[in-house]
């Protein structure tokens, strides 16, 4: 069994499944995907992800404000985060983090929000899902400063080995998406070979970043299989072993996820 550890089920483009999320989930299950973690990105979609988790036994969710979804007047409050984290089936906090690629001018606002999420993670003991892009030093500095007792994950990882090593040393997991299959991702593939088997997760980040051979099309949770197959081959591991390890890792990192 595989787990899609990071997908945006409320944002999928479902043309390939006649517009039906149920059909998209069924297609994924048929390809061995047995669990989905649906990720919150804003105050606006918190209800949507919670409703999806309530409707499907194999869907759990997270809530948080994506660094690129922060509006000047819409920084989350700690109270709001704690309230959301107390809802049923919310097994993690995020995605949160720092993205200086698209919004370098918003660094300070992003850091304030990231710190709030880390504080909420501390108070609830829920794992944090971190989005980081072109912000290596600051991301690591804030994670060190938070010094959380529980593990978290750097999702859709695209950074170098030094960053991966530092995150692993902090007890974090590393999640890889379809980007690792892209032709120009040679450096990331070298990193992917070195991630310890007991700290690796797989994800689609659908509807974004479809893996080869679906690149350029809307991504779907069923394509986590392509990501996992590619990684198994790259790392020289049997597919079944990689599927089992990444699934075990998922349930160890997210102990509140409903195991069937
Ligand atoms: Zn992200
Ligand atoms: Zn995401």
- CB contact at 8 A, 39 and 49: yes
Nearest CA to 194 out of 224, 219, 225, 157 is that of 157
Ligand nearest, relative to CA of residue 97: 1
Q: Which residues of 234-244 are buried (b: 16+ CB within 10 A; e: fewer)?
A: bbeeebeebbe
Nearest CA to 26 out of 244, 222, 203 is that of 222
Q: What is the mean pLDDT of the chain?
A: 96
Q: How far is the CA of 152 from the centre of ligand 2 (A)?
A: 15
Return the pLDDT at 73.
Answer: 59
Ligand nearest, relative to CA of residue 98: 1
Q: How far is the CA of 93 from the centre of ligand 2 (A)?
A: 12
Query: How would you classify the pairing of strands 33-38 and 59-63?
Result: parallel
Ligand nearest, relative to CA of residue 62: 2
Q: How far is the CA of 131 from the centre of ligand 1 (A)?
A: 4
Give how far the C-alpha of residue 252 lies from the chain's centroid of Cα atoms, to the nearest Å. Answer: 15
Q: How far is the CA of 234 from the centre of ligand 1 (A)?
A: 23
Ligand nearest, relative to CA of residue 203: 2
6-38 pLDDT per residue, tens: 999 999 999 999 999 999 999 999 999 999 999
92-108 pLDDT per residue, tens: 999 999 999 988 889 99
Q: How far is the CA of 100 from the centre of ligand 1 (A)?
A: 12
Q: How far is the CA of 29 from the centre of ligand 1 (A)?
A: 23
Q: How far is the CA of 96 from the centre of ligand 1 (A)?
A: 8
Is it the case that residue 50 has pLDDT exceeding 90? yes
Give how far the C-alpha of residue 55 lies from the chain's centroid of Cα atoms, to the nearest Å. Answer: 21
Is it the case that residue 199 has pLDDT exceeding 80? yes
Q: How far is the CA of 230 from the centre of ligand 1 (A)?
A: 21
Return the pLDDT at 74.
Answer: 65
Count of H-run helices and E-run strands, the chain = 9, 8
Is it the case that residue 55 has pLDDT exceeding 90? yes
Burial class (CB in 10 A: 0-12, 13-18, 19+), 151: middle
> CA 190, CA 192: separation in Å to the nearest integer?
5
Give the mean model confidence (pLDDT) for residues 116-123: 98
What is residue 186's three-state secondary structure?
helix
133-184 pLDDT per residue, tens: 999 999 999 999 999 999 999 999 999 999 999 999 999 999 999 999 999 9
- State percent of the chain over pLDDT 70: 99
Ligand nearest, relative to CA of residue 4: 2
Is it the case that residue 72 has pLDDT exceeding 70? no
Peptide bond into 186 cis (omega under 30): no
Return the pLDDT at 260.
Answer: 74
- Boundaries of every domain in the chain: 2-253
Q: How far is the CA of 155 from the centre of ligand 1 (A)?
A: 6
Q: How far is the CA of 149 from the centre of ligand 1 (A)?
A: 23
Residue 6, H or E segment: strand 2-7
Return the pLDDT at 67.
Answer: 95
Q: How far is the CA of 208 from the centre of ligand 1 (A)?
A: 10
Give the mean model confidence (pLDDT) for residues 73-79: 81
Q: How far is the CA of 66 from the centre of ligand 1 (A)?
A: 7
According to the CATH classification, is domain 2-253 in 3.40.50.300?
Answer: no
Is it the case that residue 71 has pLDDT exceeding 90? no
Residue 118, H or E segment: helix 107-124
């Amino acid at each position: 069994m595989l787990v899609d550890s990071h997908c945006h089920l409320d944002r999928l483009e479902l043309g390939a499944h006649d517009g039906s999320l149920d059909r998209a989930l069924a297609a994924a299950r048929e390809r061995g995907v047995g669990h989905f973690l649906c990720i919150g990105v804003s105050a606006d979609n918190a209800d949507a992800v919670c409703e999806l988790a309530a409707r499907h036994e194999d869907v759990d969710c997270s809530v948080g404000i994506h660094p690129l979804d922060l509006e000047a007047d819409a920084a989350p409050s700690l109270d709001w985060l704690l309230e959301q984290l107390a809802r049923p089936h919310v097994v993690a906090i995020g995605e949160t983090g720092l993205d200086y690629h698209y919004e370098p001018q918003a660094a300070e606002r992003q850091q304030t929000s990231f710190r709030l999420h880390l504080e909420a993670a501390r108070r609830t003991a829920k794992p944090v899902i971190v989005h980081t892009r072109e912000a290596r030093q600051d991301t690591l500095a804030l994670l060190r400063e938070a010094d959380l007792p529980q593990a978290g994950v750097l999702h859709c990882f695209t950074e170098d080995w030094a960053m991966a090593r530092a995150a692993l040393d902090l007890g974090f997991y590393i999640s890889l998406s379809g980007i690792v299959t892209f032709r120009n991702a040679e450096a990331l593939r070298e990193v992917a070979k070195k991630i310890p088997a007991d700290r690796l997760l797989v994800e689609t980040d659908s509807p974004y970043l479809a893996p080869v051979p679906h690149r350029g099309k809307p991504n779907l949770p069923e394509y986590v299989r392509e990501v996992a197959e590619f990684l198994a081959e790259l790392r020289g591991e049997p597919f079944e072993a990689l599927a089992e390890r990444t699934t075990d890792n998922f349930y160890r990192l997210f102990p509140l996820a409903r195991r069937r």
